[in-house]
């Protein structure tokens, strides 16, 4: 009880600490908006990642003196006072003839970053240990990306680097009370899907159960972040990340502490807000919450119109998020079991059991044969089937009958020549058809294996590996996302061009190739 009280007392401190680290918009008021809305750089993320050549005070003083003078050019000013970043893989050229495994092995060093020394006035939040970046425009660590990258690092025998990444997240939890979306000042208002407990479990596979106990404190702190405010909620109310359901059970939603346009996509958000009937602050909060989910963007978060203007992320209780928190509760219970603390172990087991029951009650749609998100404002399940519906299988929350129904739905509707669709909606958004993403392929395959749907799991794995391999042979790259319907076309959608590198693609690909004994094109089902 004393430990729980201490965490609750410290939570406001965690929240206030990051407010002291100013983001680019806070450092360069006025100039920031002019640069972003004026499209000085094609990608709004370029400016927020740029390194200032002088102090913010000196830059703002120069801007005030020059901006109203005849002949003033904003691009020239930005070039004078800021050094734009370069992509992580800009200078790297792969040797296609050496094959996929050699490519991935080389990319670990290309995408690796040493411990940060902390450049003054940079938006980068320094980390004390080495880490892996995704690649392309993503020049910093990302929370949920890192778990899937770790799968490949594990296959490559890079346990030390896995531990470094995990310790970086432990550091961030200690500093902010949660793992931010990424280590940038403009990401300090939100987290991402909570995969920390899975990362701990991954390291424990090679270093034993004592690993789980060693990371108990950061696991508890992350749980405190996600559950903050739960005890004071009335039924039908929500506060930040928590929602109290009609049954009295608390479930969770994605959330961002800010209601302003995202700094890294400022122009896109300002433009999109003009098309929405929502108050701008509500629209921005929904957009940011979708970014916290990692699914930015998808019709999963929209109303029946299927338009971004209708985004309603904070109205939804996402099935995948609550499965991840179920795993966190189970992991915490295990850490207490290992310590011989049966009372606390039982308490977290009960929390997990309550969440499992609620996921079944609110997210399972018997008619659709699918696990759906739940709209707590409307009091009804979403009508949109998405690949997030496999998470209850991944975490063994589904009944055998439910798993068979989900597998049938995957086979009938989601399975395409290159793998599994993200949703069935071809909206133009990047987290919709015809696109597919490595992390969701992996979670689906793992869930299918859990319920002995091995033939389908092997089919998904072999199609995904074949697609990745074919694109690599043609381009020399592994990409952020893929078109699984027409495998000769690039994946589209999103607010930026298709990126290569790519951390989580590399990790999942190597894991599947090893698990299923897959060569570049040929599939052999994983032996059991």
Q: Where are the domains of the chain?
A: 384-528
Q: pLDDT band for position 14 (50/70/90)?
A: very low
DSSP sequence for 219-240: HHHHHHHHHTTGGGPPTT-EET
Within 90-158, residue ranges assigned H as helices are 100-111, 143-155
230-251: average pLDDT: 97
Average pLDDT value for the chain: 94
What does the pLDDT look like over 387-446, one tens digit per residue? 999 999 999 999 999 999 999 999 999 999 999 999 999 999 999 999 999 999 999 999
Secondary structure (3-state) at 252: strand
Q: Could you give the CA distance from residue 420 to residue 446 in angstroms, rounded to a whole number?
A: 13
In this structure, is the dihedral angle defined by the CA atoms of residues 506, 420, 293 and 428, taken in order, positive or negative? positive
What does the pLDDT look like over 241-270, one tens digit per residue? 999 999 999 999 999 999 999 999 999 999
User: CA nearest 383: which of 421, 349, 426, 423?
Assistant: 423
Q: Could you give the CA distance from residue 213 to residue 5 in angstroms, rounded to a whole number?
A: 20
User: CA nearest 196: which of 162, 229, 230, 154?
Assistant: 162
335-341: average pLDDT: 98
User: CA nearest 238: which of 115, 376, 362, 337?
Assistant: 376
Say if residue 477's pLDDT is above 70: yes
Catalytic residues, which ones? Answer: 296, 480
Burial of 269 (0-12, 13-18, 19+ CB in 10 A): buried
In this structure, is the dihedral angle defined by the CA atoms of residues 79, 81, 85 and 91, taken in order, positive or negative? positive
Q: pLDDT band for position 86 (50/70/90)?
A: confident
Q: pLDDT band for position 88 (50/70/90)?
A: low
Q: Which pLDDT does position 240 carry in this prediction?
A: 98
Q: pLDDT band for position 366 (50/70/90)?
A: very high
Q: Could you give the CA distance from residue 481 to residue 502 in angstroms, rounded to a whole number?
A: 9
Write the DSSP symbol of residue 117. Answer: -
501-512: average pLDDT: 97
Tokens of 45: 């993320």
Residues across the chain: 528
Q: Which pLDDT does position 302 carry in this prediction?
A: 98
195-199: average pLDDT: 98
Q: Could you give the CA distance from residue 449 to residue 52 in angstroms, rounded to a whole number?
A: 50
What phi and psi, each to the nearest 5 degrees, are found at residue 172? Answer: -65, -40
Q: Which residues, listed in sequence order, are joined to residue 416 by a DSSP beta bridge? A: 419
Q: pLDDT band for position 87 (50/70/90)?
A: low
| DSSP run (H or E) holding 505 | helix 503-515
361-389: average pLDDT: 98
Within 311-419, residue ranges assigned H as helices are 319-338, 342-363, 391-394, 400-409
Q: pLDDT band for position 165 (50/70/90)?
A: very high
CA distances from 53 to 37, 61, 77, 124 (A): 22, 14, 12, 15
């Amino acid at each position: 009880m004393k430990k729980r009280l201490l965490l609750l007392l410290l939570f406001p401190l965690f929240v206030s600490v990051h407010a002291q680290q100013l983001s680019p918009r806070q450092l360069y008021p006025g100039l920031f908006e002019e640069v972003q809305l004026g499209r000085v750089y094609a990608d709004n993320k370029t400016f927020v990642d740029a390194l200032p050549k002088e102090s913010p005070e000196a830059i703002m003083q120069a801007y005030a003196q020059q901006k109203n003078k005849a002949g003033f050019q904003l691009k020239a000013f930005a070039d004078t006072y800021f050094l734009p970043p370069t992509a992580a893989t800009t200078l790297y050229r792969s040797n296609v003839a050496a094959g996929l495994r050699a490519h991935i092995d080389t990319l670990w060093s290309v995408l690796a970053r040493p411990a940060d020394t902390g450049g003054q006035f940079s938006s980068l939040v320094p980390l004390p240990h080495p880490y892996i970046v995704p690649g392309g425009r993503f020049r910093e660590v990302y929370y949920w990306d890192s778990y899937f990258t770790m799968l490949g690092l594990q296959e490559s025998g890079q346990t030390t680097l896995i531990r470094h990444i995990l310790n970086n997240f432990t550091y961030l939890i200690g500093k902010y009370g949660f793992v931010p979306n990424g280590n940038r000042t403009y990401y300090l208002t939100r987290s991402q899907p909570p995969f920390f407990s899975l990362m701990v479990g991954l390291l424990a596979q090679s270093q034993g159960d004592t690993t789980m106990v060693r990371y108990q404190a950061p696991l508890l702190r992350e749980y405190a972040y996600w559950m903050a405010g739960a005890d004071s909620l009335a039924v039908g109310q929500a506060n930040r990340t928590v929602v109290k359901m009609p049954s009295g059970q608390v479930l969770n939603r994605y959330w961002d502490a800010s209601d302003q346009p995202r700094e890294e996509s400022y122009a896109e958000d300002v433009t999109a807000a003009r098309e929405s009937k929502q108050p701008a602050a509500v629209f921005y909060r929904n957009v940011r919450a979708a970014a916290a989910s990692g699914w930015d963007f998808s019709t999963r978060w929209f109303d029946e119109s299927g338009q971004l203007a209708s985004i309603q992320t904070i109205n939804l209780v996402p099935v995948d998020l609550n499965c991840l928190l179920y795993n966190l509760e189970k992991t915490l219970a295990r850490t207490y079991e290992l310590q011989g603390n049966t009372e606390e172990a039982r308490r977290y087991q009960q929390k997990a059991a309550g969440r499992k029951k609620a996921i079944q009650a609110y997210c399972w749609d018997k008619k659709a044969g699918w696990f759906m998100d739940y709209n707590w404002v409307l009091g009804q399940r979403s009508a949109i089937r998405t690949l997030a519906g496999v998470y209850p299988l991944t975490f063994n929350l589904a009944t055998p009958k439910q798993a068979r129904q989900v597998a049938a739905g995957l086979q009938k509707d989601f399975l395409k020549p290159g793998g599994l669709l993200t949703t069935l909606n071809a909206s133009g958004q990047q987290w919709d058809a015809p696109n597919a993403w490595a992390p969701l392929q992996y979670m689906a395959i793992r869930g299918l294996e859990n319920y002995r749907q091995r033939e389908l799991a092997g089919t998904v794995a072999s199609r995904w590996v074949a697609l990745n391999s074919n694109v690599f042979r043609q381009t020399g790259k592994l990409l952020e996302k893929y078109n699984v319907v027409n495998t000769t076309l690039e994946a589209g959608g999103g607010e930026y061009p298709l990126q290569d590198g790519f951390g989580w693609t590399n990790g999942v690909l190597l894991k599947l190739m090893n698990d299923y004994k897959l060569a570049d094109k040929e599939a052999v089902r994983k032996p059991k």
